[in-house]
Structures are given as C-alpha cells and as structure tokens.
Chain A
C-alpha cells in the first residue's frame, strides 16, 4: 500500500466548468504523476511533479494544469472541462519501501464524466 488517495472518486460535471482533482500521499514521495486512461489508449501521462512547485508536462497536457504546493498533495485542474476529458484519471507516486525505486504505484482512480 503506497498510501495514495484520490478525491473525488467519481464526478459528473458540465462542459465549460472548472474541475480539480486531488491526489494525496502520506509517504513523502518526491515524484507524483497524473495519467488518464481511455479505452484503446492505455495510460497516458498528463503532468508530473518532481518536487514542491516543480512540475512538467506529459504526453497529453493540453487543457490541464497542475499544482503542488506541498509534498503530499498534487492537484490536477481542468480549467474548462470538455467532453473529450471524460476519462478515468489516475495519480501515481514513484518509489516505495521494498520495491524497485522507480516503480510507480497508483491511486484508486477518479472517474470523471463531462456532459
């Protein structure tokens, strides 16, 4: 158990509204990630963070922003949600006791529906 929680777990919103997803970890990991999972695409990296206030873009970052003001929280924001952002969003951390240090461990996921 990598101590990762995501909130909310499910959300339905309307096109054009802002949405923020939260990832919280309890084990002081430096690296955190946001992915989206869509049928036929596997997992694709949206943004990642390598420390407080240090973030970078991933493969599918358009339409998303992130913030990390403290080690334990990594926020993903959809400034103006679109139907194409309907997806399952996973947060991950890297590293963990007893495992290869660059293995990523995932949170339970957030299912987001944009109507």
Chain B
C-alpha cells in the first residue's frame, strides 16, 4: 500500500518570496508522482508529474519539483510566488500496477501576503 504525507497544512508566504511545499511518500513498489493545484472554487489541475528520467521536473506557472528516491520525497518549489498562486496544492502517487490505486495527500493551502 502507498501513503502520502504533506507535512504542512498551511503555508503563508510574502509575495515574491520563495516557497517549498513538502511531500513525502511511502510505498513498497515503484510509483509515479504528481502535484495538482486547486484554485478557489475550481477542480484540480496538473502542475507537474514525474514518470521517469531527470529527477528535476518543471511544471506550469514556474513551479518545479525534485524526486528524491532515497528520501522518498517530491517537494514542490517556486523561486518567487505571486498573489495568483494562492491555492491548495495536492501531492499524489500512483503505483505502476494500476491507475485506480492513486493516493492523494491531505493538501497544503498556500496563502500569499502582499
């Protein structure tokens, strides 16, 4: 079985400051990793995903994440945030075996202060 831990339920940062949202996972099998974002009153949309290859993955809106297999982490980073980045961010993992086994973390609410 897989599990996903997002350690921070809320992260407040000032506009133009850097941010890191943490995601750790546990799995006995190989997994694919995803970050999704949910803007207020909307469904989720994909920010980025790691399937294979380079462990540094670049996504939309200037976000990037690094897959660290030894630490079982997939932290999301942005060097300079904007007010428009205010949203809830979800980390998710899927084992290679089935798309139906996807597990989402509990989410991190990012709030940007002007």
Query: Is A bound to B?
Result: no
